Amino acid sequence: DIDHLNLRVQKELVEWLNWLKADIGFDGWRFDFAKGYSADVAKIYIDRSEPSFAVAEIWTSFAYGGDGKPNLNQDQHRQELVNWVDKVGGKGPATTFDFTTKGILNVAVEGELWRLRGTDGKAPGMIGWWPAKAVTFVDNHDTGSTQHMWPFPSDRVMQGYAYILTHPGTPCIFYDHFFDWGLKEEIDRLVSVRTRHGIHSESKLQIIEADADLYLAEIDGKVIVKLGPRYDVGNLIPGGFKVAAHGNDYAVW
């Protein structure tokens, strides 16, 4: 174990971070298991090494109901993410992985897409509260891959990417999905749509529909995304929009 409260430990870690930055060329940090030490300590490392980007892994348990499924309201879960960024410094480079969005998406794509509209009408994950500080993802090396600890439904992974690559937040693509699963071209198309239309971490999200079999949302008035098996949605798509990407139970206009 590392005693992060030990001043010598702090000094040597800061020196190491600055060496990685100046000599090796790294310009951002990932804080693994960030709930294992205080946000005050993380703030020291960030303030004294000045990375251009920093992201924390704060993986806490969801709130579950009697049916064994996550509650619709996961405000306490995302509040922990917001609190960490607040304590580290909301005006600095610190962000957190949006585990709230990941967990809700896991369940929503299994025929419960109504979960993607929170009680306030906004996105239910951290991106609904502080999208500029939320790093969205479908799976990572812990949840997917060989560890398989909280995997996304494997046959619906592209629905997950259609969501995070069109929505606010900073989306993160999983190496395995891109290089090993044969999804490179599909993911590339979604990345191109995001880039072409200037969708960014603080883009404006308007949720049009969120039912069991249909999620439909418009981003910045430029992009519309549909998740779910419902096919006939033409009456909900404004004129002038053309399909730019599509796949199994998702489409982007």
Residues with a known catalytic role = 32, 57
> Which helix H or strand E contains 96, and what residues bound it?
strand 94-97
Close Cβ partners of 230 (under 8 Å, ≥ 6 residues apart): 211, 213, 214
| DSSP class of 235 | G
Determine how β-strand 28-31 pairs with β-strand 53-56. Answer: parallel
The answer to whether 146 and 95 have CB atoms below 8 angstroms apart is no
d(Cα 72, Cα 64) in Å, to the nearest integer?
9
CA distances from 164 to 34, 106, 131 (A): 23, 12, 11
d(Cα 30, Cα 135) in Å, to the nearest integer?
11
The answer to whether 152 and 143 have CB atoms below 8 angstroms apart is yes
Residue 137's SS3 state is strand
d(Cα 221, Cα 198) in Å, to the nearest integer?
11
Residue 74's SS3 state is coil
| DSSP class of 97 | E
